């Protein structure tokens, strides 16, 4: 059997590696970083990816690692909020610090070769190599720059398992994760700085050199619900991480030159809380064609095309709705009516929930 090489040991790469090892396919996985490590992520797993995890037998592993079952969510603008609403389906919340490490250990246990702390030469995506390198960095999108921040905190009392707080230029999600911590994670949009601006410039925010910078960004404007929620928060500084250069434009897998899974195909707007799910799902969709290639039953070109077609069929609609949702959520004039509607109409937000996962 031929060896499958996976570049990138995030959720997509590790899940794919694990699934292939379950089928006894030889796999070498390159990961530039080391486990365990924090990642910018809302740490809220929902949607069909949970079924993928169950089919791969990974769900008990995640539940036993202390994943918190989330059953209710509440939504807030910078002035008002909703009472907790039952999620159409429960979600699981687990720190990426724990989750990625868990999957890496399981991959090794199944005999996968993990080249941890080694960056593969990024251009080498020849036959047999799968790209699972995560998001493709893009400095600006329509003139705006996106960046994400995350940190774990204690002493934060939530009204629901997940709270979503929207503000004029971004949103912050708060959810309970393993070990009694609350994950604080936000996506922010920064317009190009006016000439001469220094302190308010994007690079200043993206660097976030001290804790007061990112605390200020998370807390938003004084008097807002998120500001009150985080007033007494004790942040775990070791958990703080940031990511910049995000691209939220949907892409089709078929337009990619390489065989890709996860965010390397396309990134879904984080407001949906569905990126991890897509990482698990795309990994599962890639397993059978890659196994067939490894056994010599399918050409690489056909395997790559089959994976791309499966991913596009599974994700195209979801990505289109997610894009619309992201635009609505970030329209300052619509944020209050949206939160109002989410509070009044269970149908309204269950409809969006279903369309984006
Ligand atoms: C602000 C924010 C909030 C989010 N919140 C949620 C949420 O609540 N729920 C949800 O489901 N999703 C959420 N997501 C999305 C989710 O984090 C991603 O969709 C998911 O991590 C994608 O997994 P991946 O494996 O494709 O990429 P990643 O997890 O990014 O992994 C890619 C890996 O590839 C490695 N790598 C890159 N290049 C190389 C190389 N050349 N050689 C070796 N290794 C390399 C990197 O080190 C990295 O470990 C959020 C994202 C953001 C930005």
pLDDT digits (tens, 9 = 90+) for 265-287: 999 999 999 999 999 999 999 99
Q: Is the CB of 275 under 6 A from ligand 1?
A: yes
The residues, ordered by sequence, that sit 6+ positions from 52 with a Cβ below 8 Å of its Cβ are 15, 277, 280, 281, 283, 284
Q: What's the mean per-residue pLDDT of the chain?
A: 91
Mean pLDDT of 130-151: 88
CB 193 within 8 A of CB 144: no
Check residues 96 and 79 and name the one with the higher pLDDT.
Answer: 96
> How would residue 349 be classed by pLDDT, with cut points 50, 70 and 90?
confident
What's the CA-to-centroid distance between 8 and ligand 1, angstroms?
9
Q: Is the CB of 99 under 6 A from ligand 1?
A: no
172: β partners:
165, 186
What's the CA-to-centroid distance between 9 and ligand 1, angstroms?
9
What's the CA-to-centroid distance between 82 and ligand 1, angstroms?
30
CB count in 10 Å sphere of residue 295: 12
Strand ranges for the chain from DSSP E: 4-7, 27-31, 44-45, 68-76, 85-93, 113-116, 129-131, 145-154, 162-167, 170-176, 182-190, 234-244, 259-260
Q: Is the dihedral of CA 109, 114, 116, 122 positive or negative?
A: negative
Check residues 120 and 159 and name the one with the higher pLDDT.
Answer: 159
Instruction: Give the DSSP H/E element, type plus range, for residue 355.
Output: helix 346-355
Q: Is the CB of 33 under 6 A from ligand 1?
A: yes
DSSP 178-231: GGG-EEEEEEEEEPPPPTT--TTSHHHHHH--SHHHHHHHHH-STTSHHHHHTT
Burial class, 76, CB count within 10 angstroms (exposed 0-12 / middle 13-18 / buried 19+): buried
Q: Which pLDDT score, from 0 to 100, does residue 210 have? A: 64
Q: Which pLDDT score, from 0 to 100, does residue 330 have? A: 85
Best of 42, 117, 148, 206 for a ligand 1 pocket test (most atoms within 8 Å of beta carbon): 42
Mean pLDDT of 87-101: 96
Chain centroid to CA 260: 16
What's the CA-to-centroid distance between 132 and ligand 1, angstroms?
9
Q: Is the CB of 343 under 6 A from ligand 1?
A: no
Q: Is the CB of 225 under 6 A from ligand 1?
A: no
CB 5 within 8 A of CB 28: yes
> Distance between CA 71 and CA 197 in Å, rounded?
44
Q: Is the CB of 262 under 6 A from ligand 1?
A: yes
Q: Is the CB of 266 under 6 A from ligand 1?
A: no
* Nearest residue by C-alpha to atom 27 in ligand 1: 134
Measured CA to CA in angstroms, residue 64 lies from 99, 177, 249 at distances of: 11, 13, 36
Paired sense of beta strands 170-176 and 162-167, if any: antiparallel
Best of 7, 8, 73 for a ligand 1 pocket test (most atoms within 8 Å of beta carbon): 8
Q: Is the backbone peptide bond immediately before 36 cis, with ω within 30 degrees of 0?
A: yes
> How would residue 316 be classed by pLDDT, with cut points 50, 70 and 90?
very high
Question: For 198-221, how does the pLDDT look when each residue is reduced to its tens digit (9 = 90+)?
Answer: 444 444 455 555 667 788 889 888
Select from 290, 261, 295 the least CA-distant residue to 275. Answer: 261
Q: Is the CB of 16 under 6 A from ligand 1?
A: no
Q: Is the CB of 265 under 6 A from ligand 1?
A: no
Chain centroid to CA 65: 19
> Distance between CA 285 and CA 275 in Å, rounded?
15
> Distance between CA 97 and CA 90 in Å, rounded?
22
Check residues 203 and 346 and name the one with the higher pLDDT.
Answer: 346
Q: Which of 38-52, 87-101, 185-199, 310-324 has the lowest mean pLDDT?
A: 185-199
Best of 46, 115, 270 for a ligand 1 pocket test (most atoms within 8 Å of beta carbon): 270
Predicted TM-score (pTM) of the model is 0.94
Q: Any idea how long the chain is?
A: 357
CB 114 within 8 A of CB 8: no
What's the CA-to-centroid distance between 353 and ligand 1, angstroms?
21
CB 132 within 8 A of CB 6: yes
């Amino acid at each position: 059997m031929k060896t499958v090489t996976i570049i990138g040991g995030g959720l997509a790469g590790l899940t794919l590696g694990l699934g292939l090892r379950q089928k006894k396919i030889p796999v070498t996985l390159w990961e530039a970083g080391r486990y365990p490590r924090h990642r910018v992520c809302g740490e809220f797993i929902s949607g069909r990816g949970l079924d993928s995890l169950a089919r791969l037998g990974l769900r008990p592993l995640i539940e036993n690692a202390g994943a918190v079952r989330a059953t209710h969510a509440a939504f807030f603008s910078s002035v008002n909020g909703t009472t907790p609403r039952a999620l159409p389906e429960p979600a699981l919340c687990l720190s990426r610090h724990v989750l990625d490490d868990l999957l890496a250990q399981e991959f090794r246990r199944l005999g996968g070769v993990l080249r941890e702390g080694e960056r593969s030469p990024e251009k080498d995506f020849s036959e047999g190599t799968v790209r699972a390198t995560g998001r493709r960095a893009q400095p600006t999108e329509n003139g705006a720059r996106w960046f994400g921040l995350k940190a774990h905190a204690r002493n934060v009392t939530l009204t629901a398992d997940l709270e979503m707080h929207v503000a004029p230029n971004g949103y912050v999600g708060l959810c309970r994760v393993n070990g009694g911590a609350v994950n604080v994670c936000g996506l922010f949009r920064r317009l190009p700085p006016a000439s001469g601006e220094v302190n308010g410039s994007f690079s200043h925010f993206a660097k976030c050199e001290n804790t007061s910078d990112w605390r200020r960004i998370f807390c938003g404007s004084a008097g807002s619900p998120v500001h009150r929620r985080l007033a007494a928060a004790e942040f775990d500084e070791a958990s703080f991480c940031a990511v910049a250069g995000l691209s939220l434009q949907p892409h089709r897998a078929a337009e990619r030159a390489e065989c890709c899974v996860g965010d390397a195909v396309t990134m879904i707007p984080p407001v949906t809380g569905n990126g991890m799910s897509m990482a698990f799902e795309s990994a599962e969709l890639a397993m059978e064609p890659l196994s067939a290639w490894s056994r010599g039953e399918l050409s690489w070109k056909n395997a790559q095309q089959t994976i791309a077609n499966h991913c596009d069929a599974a994700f195209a609609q979801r990505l289109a709705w997610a894009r619309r949702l992201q635009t609505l959520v970030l329209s300052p004039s619509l944020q209050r009516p949206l939160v109002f509607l989410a509070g009044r109409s269970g149908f309204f937000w269950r409809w969006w929930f279903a369309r984006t996962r």
